[in-house]
Structure 1
Amino acid sequence: MHPRLSVVVPMYDEADVLPLFVEQLRPVLDGVAEVDGAYEVVAVDDGSSDATPVLLQRFHREWPQLRVVRLRANSGHQAAISAGLAAARGDWVVTLDADLQDPPETIAQMLAVTREQDVDVVYGVRTDRRSDSVFKRTSAKAFYGVMRAAGATDIPSGAGDYRLMSRATVDAVNALPETHRVLRLVVPSLGFPSATVGYSRKPRAAGRSKYPLAKMVRLSVDSLTGFSLAPLRLATWFGLGGFVAAVVLLGYAVVSKLVGGTVAGWTSTVAIVAGVGAVQLLCLGVLGEYVGRIYSTMQGRPTYFVAYDSLTGPPDRDAAPSPAATPRAAIPPEGAVPSAPPPPARR
């Protein structure tokens, strides 16, 4: 049966929380199905190294609506969500983490908002984040402040990766050619009609966070360089500022020479050279980030490879890569008939 709703759940080493997650999610979706029709849960195993794959297979046998998609290697949170969006078949698609910090009960509210307001996207907004640490709340506030200053004015305050999207929105996201995309910025930038639903963020039910400081910094850099040209313009302003400072210092040196007030100063020379060098290195670093993104895009390498999909059966090691992980140029058009191999030559 074609599902009306797809719930995409990226997972990486979530064996501790997975039983609790299934226990809480399944009754919610069974209740939603009585109103909105059939559903599927697309659990994307992002190359877990613990018992997550084994538990997913066990729950798949007990829960027919659970679909398991396993990636060949750990590809990252955003790549796992992208893999789930490419595999989802529902008319509406929800992206939800497995740590139970975002309550599954909010899905029913999101669907109700789509019926009442006729929108394509419903964002889950964290109205109460007291369960997060002070550092987490402060860094999140700083992140959204910087992104708004860089031009991302459409981002709902407090929204993460918990959202409901229409099929038109999902198709638009899947058609984007960019790699290393940050969906919490990409989806609002599409401009589809949207609404918000507030909820209280809960503590992680079990296990530990898979988003350490290094990954948070990487996500922030990808967000800034992938969405805005503001860092490049900042480098330009630094260059202009350095030029103005150099002209002022040159004028000061000439005037001092004319009035006979010059004093050979080692400290001032070192300070000027160090300041100019720091600005140059910063500008080169910003340029390097953008050049690296251009290089990665030009390579055209897929961000993930699907190793197994329970919808299509057990994995076949001799089969070609999944179309979801194959560059678009390598996928034949729908309905095309492959050419037969040439007959052997007659002797």
Structure 2
Amino acid sequence: MISIPIPRLVIVSPCYNEEAILAYSARELTTLLERLIAAGKILPTSHVLYVNDGSRDRTWELIEELHRENHFIDGLCLAGNVGHQSAIMAGMMTARDFADAVVTIDADLQDDLGALEEMIDRYLEGYDIVYGVKVSRTADPLLKRTSALAFYRLQSAMGIRAIYNHADFRLMSRRALDALACYPERNLYLRGIIPQLGYASTTVDDVISERVAGESKYTLRKMLLLAVDGITSFTTRPISWIIGMGLLCLLISICMAVYVLVSYIEHLSVPGWASLMLSLWFIGSIVLLSLGVIGQYIGKIYIEIKQRPRYHIAQHLKHHD
């Protein structure tokens, strides 16, 4: 069995308007790091990297204060709000220069810190990627819980290779991070990209707890946009569905033509507009839906070919190189 050296761990935690939770988050993560260091599972230079994603409150000021007071806390301030996925990517790509392993976890710490410790154990067993899989979501609101489960099933139906009930709570080795850096796309959907890396992976159970303070920044609108990105970035099956709908409409049109012809021959046809209006609305809806789906793919091509940077770093606070 290959002996894995004790890693230098960096916990990457994206923050957007999280001033209400930061003090609690830093205290809990510091306690966890101290326990893992005392147990000999990680190196003393391990730390937390908070990534400020263009917050409009005092989040960055609090990160600066925590950095001055706590040698376990580093900070990365992005020049503007780039979104959750790009903020995570910025933290991971910054940390990979000096970390042996990186864990990503949201600042609200609804994910299970006990699972984080288990991730380190799996890493020491030789796994490059360890996913936190939610086994209980009772702490999540009903709408968020049901919509998330529906989306996971939709991903599976569309053939997207993703980990069921996994969000962005995971551990990655430096080797896995180096491989991830080779993926230049701007439409980031990390839950779909990372399983494609192919390195040895496993899962740990993640029991979600209630948020201690503040409100979740992942609104229904943001979840829907992430779902659209996830689907259109990894499968062209919606376009295949458009072809299927077109064939269905053609079949319906043929049936209507037969019906009209028979009615004309049998002198059963009567003037009316109901069937005409129904047909027009049906066909019009299919056309608009089809144009919308195709437009999503064209829009993504437009964004990708520009090759613009995902983010810009305004400031990096660090204790260790």
TM bucket (normalised to shorter chain) is over 0.9
CA distance in 1, matches of 2:255, 2:309: 50
CA distance in 2, matches of 1:75, 1:50: 16
With normalisation by structure 1, the TM-score equals 0.86
CA distance in 1, matches of 2:273, 2:319: 72
CA distance in 2, matches of 1:135, 1:98: 22
Residue of structure 2 in register with 1:99 after alignment:
108
Is 1:241 the counterpart of 2:222? The answer is no
Residue of structure 2 in register with 1:162 after alignment:
169
Gaps in structure 1 of 5+ consecutive residues: 314-347
State the secondary structure of the residue aligned to 1:163. Answer: strand
CA distance in 2, matches of 1:113, 1:311: 28
**TM-fit CA distance, 1:126:** 1.3
Is 1:223 the counterpart of 2:230? The answer is yes
**TM-fit CA distance, 1:188:** 1.5
Residue of structure 1 in register with 2:284 after alignment:
277
| Letter of the structure 2 residue corresponding to residue 124 of structure 1 | G
Give the percent of matched residue pairs that are identical in Structure 1 and Structure 2.
38
Residue of structure 1 in register with 2:3 after alignment:
none
Is 1:290 the counterpart of 2:297? The answer is yes
Contact 2:33-2:46 within 8 A present in 1 as well: yes
State the secondary structure of the residue aligned to 2:51. Answer: strand
CA distance in 1, matches of 2:231, 2:146: 18
| Letter of the structure 1 residue corresponding to residue 61 of structure 2 | V
Residue of structure 1 in register with 2:135 after alignment:
127
Runs ≥4 residues deviating over 4 A = none
- Cα deviation 1:197-255 (Å, max 9, x = unaligned): 10310001110110111111111111111111111111111111111211221222222
Q: Please provide the CA RMSD for this pair.
A: 1.7
Residue of structure 2 in register with 1:17 after alignment:
21
1:148 corresponds, among 149, 153, 156, to 156
What are the equivalent positions in structure 2 for 1:284-323 lying under 5 Å apart? 284-311=291-318
State the secondary structure of the residue aligned to 2:41. Answer: helix
Is 1:62 the counterpart of 2:69? The answer is yes
- Cα deviation 1:177-204 (Å, max 9, x = unaligned): 1112111121123332211110310001
CA distance in 2, matches of 1:216, 1:194: 26
**TM-fit CA distance, 1:115:** 2.5
With normalisation by structure 2, the TM-score equals 0.92
Residue of structure 2 in register with 1:197 after alignment:
204
Contact 1:253-1:262 within 8 A present in 2 as well: yes
CA distance in 1, matches of 2:57, 2:7: 30
CA distance in 2, matches of 1:207, 1:144: 27
